[in-house]
Amino acid sequence: MIHQRGSLDWALQSSVNQLHICSISLSLLLLFRSSGSEPPYDLFQKILHQRNLQISGRSQSRLFLRIMERTVVTQFIYPALQAPPPTLSFVDQFAFRPTGSPTAAIISFLNSVTKLLLTNPYVIVISLDFSKAFDRVRHSTLMHKVALLDIPDNAFNWMVDFLNGHSHCTVYSGTASTFKDITASIIQGSSFGPAAYVINTGDLQPVIPGNSLCKFADDTYLIIPASNWTSRQAEINNIQTWATANNLSLNCTKSSEIIFVDPRRKRHIDVPPLLSDIARVDSLKILGVTFSRNLSASEHIGNILKSCSQSMYALRLLRAHGMCEAAIQTIFRSVIIAKLTYAASAWRGFTKASDRQRIDALLRRSKRSGFYATHLPMFDELCDIADEQLFDKVQTNIFHILRSLLPPESPASQNYSLRPRVHNLQLPDHVNHLADSNFFVRMLFKNVY
């Protein structure tokens, strides 16, 4: 209940609120002090300044718990992921990381596939589906992996306490069942849950050298070059064994296999036989972006243009019901522009000029209809802005998840005083059109001269 400001009840509620605030701040401070880490005093200052926080005690508890979770994740878990033990690896996990994103995952995925196509006639990719992955993470197995990380004991104990003490029951027709302890699943909506799932998948690794994995949360892609095609079943068996040990289930009926090839190679390719329980497809949706077996994104553009046309019909209805032009343009940018540019830095290089012209045609119609302001940029300019922002982040952040894909600095830039350039990195060789379509190759050659 919120009481009138200045009343006795309001003063009492404010005092109780302040006690709650001081209590959580003291808990956070003790957590950092006992771990030897530098406390984030700016965060404590913001909390302590909430003297007149007019929310209920239950809402306050949720708010402070969320602050506590976020603090533990950012100050303890994320730094520990940078230097994992030998049994865990997070270089192939792109979800719930400070610099991770679907764009980064797709860029890394395409870089791996195109690099393998240089020396292999085809590359096999198997999209793996785990049934209810977040609901079946076993707490004991998870905390065993957390114990391997360089995390202070008090932070580890907080995580154990965070997962313990939860139970559930079922109520039907006024009758309640007995309570059962919850020993698996990740609490949805928490800050700790996503980071916990990242840790849980840290020991899922391929068993055959040359094969690799690309993970984004529970979306997992197994990449196998043609030279290792006989290892497909061994890798799938390894993943099934890992899933069973971690209380997960690999759903083969929802998994799929695709064989990527270089369309400019004219010689005949003998593809491996079909798997018994995983279907083979001609196109695969990778984190929302559809690629054909020729690594073309044309089908993806057709899908998003169809979706955008449906959204524009909804905008016409909103305008017919009296919505102002400014609000309609805001919705257009929030919905349609977001669809068009989603992960565009990753797939833009794998499109044809005719594909991009179709997007520009949609934007020109939108400008004539008043949905999109006339002074705003077209598709290529929107992508250029996003490309430059991402490239700058990778260059300036040594801990960026894509940092390993950058080439080293050129010897000339280290030994000579050269004129200023966009970057001082070595330029890769032009090997084929697929490699040149990758994000970093495009950006390394862009405006370099």
pLDDT of residue 279: 94
> What is the per-residue burial (b if ≥16 Cβ within 10 Å, else e) of 307-327?
ebeeebeebeeebeeeeeeee
Low-confidence ranges of the chain (pLDDT < 70): 1-64, 412-420, 447-449
> Burial level of 221, CB count in 10 A (0-12/13-18/19+)?
buried
Distance of CA 44 to the CA centre of its chain: 29
Q: pLDDT at position 55, please?
A: 47
Return the pLDDT at 224. 97
* Pairing mode, strands 289-292 and 283-286: antiparallel
pTM for the predicted model, two decimal places: 0.85
Query: How many angstroms separate the CA atoms of 10 and 15, rounded?
Result: 9
Report how far residue 278's alpha carbon sits from residue 253's, in angstroms, rounded to the nearest whole number. Answer: 6
Q: What is the pLDDT of residues 339-360, one digit of tens each?
A: 999 999 999 999 999 999 999 9
pLDDT for 75 equals 85
Q: Can you give the pLDDT at residue 186?
A: 81
Q: State residue 40's pLDDT score.
A: 54
